[in-house]
Amino acid sequence: MNSVDVFREVEEKGRKAKQAARLLRSLSRQVKDAALIAMAQALIDNQDEILDANRIDMENGEKAGLSAALLDRLKLNQSRIKGMADGLRELAALEDPVGTVSELTRRPNGLLVGKMRVPLGVIGLVFESRPNVTADAAGLCIKSGNAIIMRGGSEAIHSNRLLTRILADAAVSCGVPDGAIQMLETTSREGVRALATGDEFIDLMIIRGGEELVRAVSEYATVPLIKHGKGLCHVYIDKDADLDKAIRIAFNAKVDRPGVCNAMETLLVHKDVASACLPPLAEELCKAGVELVGCSRAVELLRDKCDIALADESDWDTEYLALKLSVKVVDSYEEAVDHICKHGSGHTEAIVTENYSVAMKFLQDVDASVVLVNASTRFNDGFQLGLGAELGISTQKLHARGPMGLRELTCEKFVVLGQGQVRGA
């Protein structure tokens, strides 16, 4: 598809989405929830067809030499399809934020002034690898009253196209306007550019992709942009940590799903507990296939226990998205926080400590979209935080930060209720 065809496709789908968004704005909760339930059931009813399409993507990914972590992100199975369906049902059970009025106050002249929560309009979403995002994004936008145009990655094109058709058909059958859920046919960068410069149709653009893609889109986007930035996440094991707890948390943060953005990439350990904590943790990590690099003190502690190489400066700034981990022994809490401030991406940071004062100080000192105490970084996830799902994890501060759920896909407008008041000179 050439550049002209790509921009024409975005214009056609943009006009359709804008019309759908006008109707979605006033759609009742009953219709939206019925659509979500129907979308969930459609995934289950069509799971064999979905798995066949995903099998083609997996075979193509293997031929293209995708890493094991990226193949894991791409893979669908019955359990993951059920998880997608369960997520849609959970969304249906959540309160609908659209139309709620807050901060209603009466002015001296009798006017009632408040704020009403309303949909954003048309969302443009760019994402890579994970076809489950298609269901999460479609469900969130329907519930929050937004239309969505998605551009998925080439590695998941067969899965994404089929999922979009199944979800859109199910939604329309329940009264959702046609055009509310759409996917671009193209997987080219031109499709991204067309969405990011489509001011006439797109109200908000969300980018879930690599650092290079996010940087490039930021340079030419004319549509308001929210970036799902890289996840250079840390776990700091404090001198007052429960070491059994620390080992369990750090292992989970790295090994559970190393190819996702909330996986730990750097482990920081206080010097007072390093000799007791690092050897048993490193042994478990190495058994799980994790490649270790570390500072000179970490290498000295672990060289007789497992394979570990000396880290270079670039390691502290690398999002591996793989079974690889940087390890640093620090002299103090302050050094750990300084390291996080220098190298972190503002995504997810965690501390393991039994010292309440230190834990509360960490929550204040560390600037990230989610900061955790005594819990794995893997909990920075819309489902895990009770949002039902997420459209991405914003690492910026306007207008949303952290997992983007229903509330983050709406904004507020002022509403004023009068009884004939007019303004004097």
Domains and CATH numbers, the chain: 3-229+396-417 (3.40.605.10), 233-379 (3.40.309.10)
Contacts of 197 (CB under 8 A, 6+ apart): 220, 221, 222, 223
Contacts of 101 (CB under 8 A, 6+ apart): 114, 115, 116, 117, 415
DSSP string, 278-298: HHHHHHHHHHTT-EEEE-HHH
Q: What's the mean pLDDT in 294-308?
A: 94
- What number of other Cβ atoms are within 10 A of residue 337's Cβ? 21
pLDDT in tens, 316-345: 999 999 999 999 999 999 999 999 999 999
Whole-number percent of the chain with pLDDT over 70: 100
pLDDT in tens, 61-76: 999 999 887 898 899 9
SS3 414: strand
pLDDT in tens, 173-212: 999 999 999 999 988 889 999 999 999 999 999 998 777 8
Q: What pLDDT score was predicted for residue 4?
A: 85
Work out the mean pLDDT of the chain and round it to a whole number. 94
Q: What pLDDT score was predicted for residue 209?
A: 75
* Four-residue CA torsion sign, 198, 204, 208, 210: positive
Residue 378's pLDDT band (cuts 50, 70, 90): very high
Q: With b meaning 16 or more CB within 10 Å and e meaning fewer, what string describes 135-156?
A: bbbbbbbbbbbbbbbbbbbebb
**144 in Cβ contact with 33 (< 8 Å):** no
In angstroms, the CA 344 to CA 223 distance is 27
Give, for 385, the enclosing helix (H) or strand (E).
none
Question: In whole angstroms, how far apart are CA 72 and each of 54, 61, 65, 274, 321?
Answer: 12, 11, 13, 32, 11
pLDDT in tens, 90-147: 999 999 999 999 999 999 999 999 999 999 999 999 988 789 999 999 999 999 999 9
In angstroms, the CA 323 to CA 403 distance is 24
Joined together, the tokens standing for residue 227 give 């970036």
Q: What's the mean pLDDT in 412-422?
A: 96
Q: What pLDDT score was predicted for residue 410?
A: 96
Torsion (CA) 54, 60, 65, 69 in degrees, nearest 10: -10
Q: What's the mean pLDDT in 370-380?
A: 97
The secondary structure of the chain in percent helix, strand, coil, rounded to multiples of 5, reads: 45, 20, 35
Joined together, the tokens standing for residue 18 give 């804008």
Q: Are strands 112-119 and 410-417 parallel, antiparallel or unpaired?
A: antiparallel
Helical pair 271-287 and 243-255, crossing angle rounded to 10 deg: 40
